[in-house]
Chain A
Amino acid sequence: MIARGDREAFSRFYDGFAGLAFGLIRRIVRDPAASEEVLQEVFWQIWREAARYDPRRGSPEAWVVMRAKTRAIDRLRAMRRREKTFVAPADDSLTRSTEEPAENPGVAVETRGLVRSALNALPESQRRVVELAFFEGLTQSEIAGRLGEPLGTVKTRARLGLERLKSLITREEPARP
């Protein structure tokens, strides 16, 4: 039964997390119309599958981020399959995405600056692993293949990269009003 309260709860949930999801989807998918479709699909899926949410497996925020990322990557792959001519090297697309702030006019500038500087503060080898996983949707063994590095090295870099990001973000956060 879909109670009236659930609809309201979902509405608030959407308001709280849609910006987070949409920004991420835009960054991965790029195309505005396709991004809006993905966003609606993500929240439609969340609405239908709320019962499967398991707090042990992460915060609601992480849950939304992961779903948005997964759906966006799915869409990106589908678009690339359709547009065979589109063969942007991963590194080029990553560079472009970080150097085109105008693409995301609604971005919270302070936070973006914080995390961008945090991402840039990572050693190049760690940053590439994090970005290939997060924005290109590659698995760790795919990343290993792409970079020509052993799988163990990729796993370690992912861990070190996230540990460093976490410490950078945590250190900066209390200073934000």
Chain B
Amino acid sequence: MNREEIAELAAGYALGALDPDDRARFDALLASGDAEATAALRNFEGAVAGIARETIQAPPPAVKAALMARIDAQGRSLEAVERTLASVRPSPSGRSAWTLVLSGAMAAGIAAIAVGWIVSTAYDRRVTQLAQETATLKQELDRQQSLIALLQDPATQLVALGGLEAAPGAKARMLWHPTAGGLLVTQGLPAAPEGKAYELWAIAGKNPPMPAGVFTVDAKGVGSLRVAPIRVEGSVDTFAVTLEPAGGTAAPTGAMYLAGKL
């Protein structure tokens, strides 16, 4: 039998359209383990399954329920029969037919997984990149939204901070809310030296200054700092900025660059 004849039999077999004598011939080929016949059949199976996949449709759940109930009922009656027979024959053992069926299904699945893995690796990289971009945008959005909320709140005050001797040209604006904290934006501060950073202080009356956060400025001297709510006795009435070690300190130690009162 030549290659073309085998391919024709395999196509007819895959379509379920072989006449009985042809079917018997191809069955014999398969049973003999003919590699060409098996390969040809596998090849056409993909096409036939593709035709079936055209119409995939979820069946009503009731069908499965009825089927499983039927199986359970059969299982119960078989178990009864088996109990009766247990004394006269040994229990069947070994791999069940379903292990075999599922292993075939899994083999088909493994090929799909291999292709899927290659595609998904590329997707993974893109997804990770997009996730990072999303996180950055979300952070920015949160910042903007909290700023808008701060601006809309009637209790929010605008505090002007002026430059002192260390930087007379510097200035800053502080949006301050007594319970929600605030936002500081500075201009004209010189870049902090290596190992140093600017620290904001919040002062309430005669109490010692409370550290309110550390920030640096960009090349244009612009800096910003989101200030968390500060819990103090009384209410904050003064803000000041000093130059401190980069990690910040508990009490001011360096020169004061900016100061302003509510």
Q: Which residues of A contact B (CB under 8 A)?
A: 1-3, 5-7, 9-16, 18-24, 26-27, 36, 39-40, 43-44, 47, 50-62, 65-66, 68-70, 104-108, 111-112, 114-116, 118-119, 130, 133-134, 137-141, 143, 155-156, 158-159, 161-163, 165-166, 169-170, 174, 177
CA distance A39 to B70 in the complex (A): 14
By the criterion CB–CB under 8 Å, are A66 and B16 in contact? Answer: yes
CA distance A47 to B50 in the complex (A): 24
Which of A7, A44, A60, A105 has the most B CB atoms < 10 Å from its CB? A60
Report B-chain residues with C-beta under 8 Å of the C-beta of A53: 97, 100-101, 104
Q: List which B99-155 residues lie within 8 A (CB) of chain A.
A: 99-102, 104-105, 108, 115, 119
Partner of A9, one of B8, B33, B82, B102: B102
Minimum Cβ distance to chain A for residue B24 (Å)? 13
Partner of A141, one of B4, B19, B55, B105: B19
Q: Count the B residues whose beta carbon is within 8 Å of the partner chain — how many?
A: 65
Is B18 close to A, CB under 8 A?
yes
Report A-chain residues with C-beta under 8 Å of the C-beta of B66: 40
By the criterion CB–CB under 8 Å, are A139 and B50 in contact? Answer: no
Report B-chain residues with C-beta under 8 Å of the C-beta of A112: 53-56
Report A-chain residues with C-beta under 8 Å of the C-beta of B217: none
Minimum Cβ distance to chain A for residue B162 (Å)? 59
By the criterion CB–CB under 8 Å, are B11 and A158 in contact? Answer: yes
By the criterion CB–CB under 8 Å, are B52 and A20 in contact? Answer: yes
Q: With A3-B96, A107-B57 known to touch, is A169 a contact of B46 (CB < 8 Å)?
A: yes
The SS class assigned to the B binding surface is: helix
By the criterion CB–CB under 8 Å, are B57 and A50 in contact? Answer: no
12 pairs across A/B with beta carbons < 8 Å? A1-B79, A1-B92, A9-B98, A12-B102, A53-B104, A59-B42, A134-B15, A155-B8, A158-B11, A158-B17, A159-B4, A169-B50
Report B-chain residues with C-beta under 8 Å of the C-beta of A155: 8, 11-12
Report A-chain residues with C-beta under 8 Å of the C-beta of B82: 1
Report B-chain residues with C-beta under 8 Å of the C-beta of A55: 100, 104
Is B38 close to A, CB under 8 A?
yes
Q: List which B5-32 residues lie within 8 A (CB) of chain A.
A: 7-8, 10-12, 14-19, 22, 30-31
Report A-chain residues with C-beta under 8 Å of the C-beta of B52: 20-21, 23-24, 65, 68-69
Is B59 close to A, CB under 8 A?
yes
Q: With A115-B51, A115-B53 known to touch, is A13 a contact of B59 (CB < 8 Å)?
A: no
Which of B16, B17, B31, B68 has the most A CB atoms < 10 Å from its CB? B17
By the criterion CB–CB under 8 Å, are A107 and B47 in contact? Answer: no
By the criterion CB–CB under 8 Å, are B11 and A162 in contact? Answer: yes
Is B212 close to A, CB under 8 A?
no
By the criterion CB–CB under 8 Å, are B51 and A140 in contact? Answer: no
By the criterion CB–CB under 8 Å, are A19 and B11 in contact? Answer: no
CA distance A15 to B59 in the complex (A): 10
By the criterion CB–CB under 8 Å, are A107 and B51 in contact? Answer: no
Which of A14, A16, A44, A159 has the most B CB atoms < 10 Å from its CB? A159
CA distance A159 to B70 in the complex (A): 40
By the criterion CB–CB under 8 Å, are A56 and B16 in contact? Answer: no
By the criterion CB–CB under 8 Å, are B17 and A16 in contact? Answer: no
CA distance A10 to B43 in the complex (A): 26
